Chain A
Amino acid sequence: MKNKLFEKYFVFSPYFWLVLFFFIPLAIIFKISISVSEWGMPPYQDIFLFDNGFKINTSFENYVYIFSDYYYIGSFVNSLILALISTIFCLVIGFPLAFYIATSNIGLRNILLVLVVIPFWSSFLLRVYAWKIILQNNGILNVILLNLGITSEPLQLLYNQYAVIMGIVYTYLPLMILPLYGYLNKFDLNLIEASKDLGLNRFKTFFKVILPLSVPGIVAGSLLVFIPVVGEFIIPEMLGGSDRLYYGKILWEEFFVNRNWPGASALAFSGIIILVLPIVIFQILYSRWSQKNEI
């Protein structure tokens, strides 16, 4: 009996975690987002006032404000586009790599897996900073290009949206490779041979057999890249320029530069809802689909 009780709690422990570290903070952010802002510490008024009897002191002005100014919506759209492009790049680069790792012999496979994970051992900040050194006007890449005579003037490689995409793809690639590897590792290579034997060339075999059977890995890897990239702050801050504004940066400025906590909270809360709701719906539909197809 005792054991059963333990099992019950054990099974639900991830949900306690979720409630403690996701739903409660989310509720707090929501509460701040509907507060009235003021100068002070903290920079917002309490929701429940008891001065002259009980009074609820809320304001949805912040939501009206952020949804009426294209500055905010535009930055969110920019972030979504950035996340989409980065995810596609990670997938296109990561899939062949993951496939190669999964199908190579055990010795080589372990070495390659370690190589994929090694960047995680050094500081994320340092690695992004290193790209700054590589890409800057008198950086390594420009020096090489100048000396080879490929270009006569240093190229402006840094502080634009392309540098941001490159930095994100570089940083998030392992998050795509590892889940993909996890699925491809279980892939029955006889299926590829069977497809070729039945007359499909490499190209058609890829689209008719390998790709459909890798959908779970592709979904897992893509979500792992897409979701954090939408809120990514450091990489656009360090490698990006003023050509494009991203959601993470706007959020930071709203909180720490403008000290507009209710406005920033409204922005954060809207972002989470806009991002999480479609993903939850997608996951439900996807799990139904994969159950039906038994993948």
Chain B
Amino acid sequence: MDNNFLVIENISKSFGDNKVLENINLNISKSEFFGLLGSSGSGKTTLLRILGGFEKPDTGRVILDGMDITNLEPFDRPLNYMFQSYALFPHLNVFNNLAFGIKENFTQKETEINVRNIAELLSIEHLLKRRIKQLSGGEQQRVALGRCLIKKPKLLLLDEPLAALDKKLRSKTQLELTTLQKKLKITFVFVTHDQEEAMSLSDRMAIMNNGLILECSSPEEIYENPKSLYTANFIGIANIIEIYKKDKNFYSDNLGINFKLNKELKNTKTNILLRPEKIKIQSINNLKTSSFNSFCGEILEKSYLGSFTRYEIKINNMIISVLDQNFNSNSNYNFLKGEKVICSWESESIKILED
């Protein structure tokens, strides 16, 4: 696969004294669905706007399909940008919004055929004569998408593509968006602050914080093996345990537990990550001997989430979160607040956070 379809090289950008992006480097492959995930102020939207040509970087280059586009105007770039607000033209109907970018280069007949095709692809044929104000949020999102896709861009940039939709519609649209992207094989780069959205849409994603890219990998890799403390905390729920070297083993003061690590460590002190769903809990009464590390704790809080129940369990001086899948429909199988339980986990579930 062509790994250098979109190359972002040493991009930096400041607004006054405020450094928004610092030395960003990214390689994105052709037909990849790439996510930029970060909290607000992380610089992710600025990076996307630099790709779109709406901001000029202070340093660095953007190369798309072998062409340096850093200094090109937005209207000269072979890419399109879908705005978070959709930015549909209120004075034009759906047909003319879709045709806006191609009218100049095509005859009226060609334009009409193109618009019909894209409308069919997005199932909005029945809306073509409508005004923008007469559309629902989901319909507007499709028109915005269609208006970009009709240009057959090499790269589509999407700013928070689903943020304006309600939750039910969002998950449906997520699925449609990935299907569409795989079908059209257009490279998508999108920005989001929603980790679920980033995980479900992206082939690969980059975690941004304070103008830096902290990590860039597949969603699975980032969730299971985060490299930094920030990423571990940012994605999903994380139990972060501070450990230090004691004799040959590592020891957590708060938990009062010894950890055996398979890996050699540079530092004598580090953090480890234990995801809450990796922890198994059993009632202290029907304890079966197991090869797991098993520790006794007390349930402080519990919240029922439907498919899971989340427990806050106190082991020694530390409170850890546990997600327990609700296998049984009988609520008696749930543990009670104040109950003493045995927590256990496989030693492979422990991930070392080096940064």
Contacts and interface: CB of A to CB of B under 8 A. Distances in A.
Contact of A200 (B75, B77, B133): B75
A194 B147 CA distance: 10
B100 to A, nearest CB: 5
A199 interface: yes
Interface of A: 188, 190-191, 193-201, 204, 208-209, 212-213, 293-295
A195 B75 CA distance: 8
Interface stretch (B82-90, B119-127, B240-248, B278-286): B82-90
Contacts of B131: 294
Interface residues of B, number: 24
Nearest to B74: A196
Interface string B66-108: 0000000111010011010101111100000000110010000
B85 A199 contact: no
Given A188-B87, A194-B81, A209-B89, 8 more contacts: A195-B100, A197-B52, A197-B53, A197-B80, A198-B100, A198-B148, A294-B91, A294-B133
**Interface hub of B74, B90, B101, B104 (most chain A Cβ within 10 A):** B74
Contacts of A188: 85, 87
**Interface hub of B53, B91, B133, B151 (most chain A Cβ within 10 A):** B91
Contact of B90 (A193, A200, A295): A295
**Interface hub of A194, A201, A295 (most chain B Cβ within 10 A):** A194
B79 to A, nearest CB: 8
25 contacts: A188-B85, A193-B52, A193-B81, A194-B83, A194-B88, A195-B89, A195-B100, A196-B53, A196-B73, A196-B74, A196-B75, A197-B53, A197-B148, A198-B101, A198-B147, A198-B148, A199-B75, A199-B101, A199-B104, A200-B100, A201-B73, A201-B75, A204-B104, A208-B100, A294-B90
A196 B87 CA distance: 12
Given A197-B52, A294-B133, A295-B91, A190 B83 contact: yes
**Interface hub of A193, A201, A213 (most chain B Cβ within 10 A):** A193
Contacts of A209: 89
Contacts of B73: 196, 201
Contacts of A197: 52-53, 74-75, 77, 80-81, 148
B74 A193 contact: yes
A213 B90 CA distance: 8
B47 to A, nearest CB: 16
Interface in B21-65: 52-54
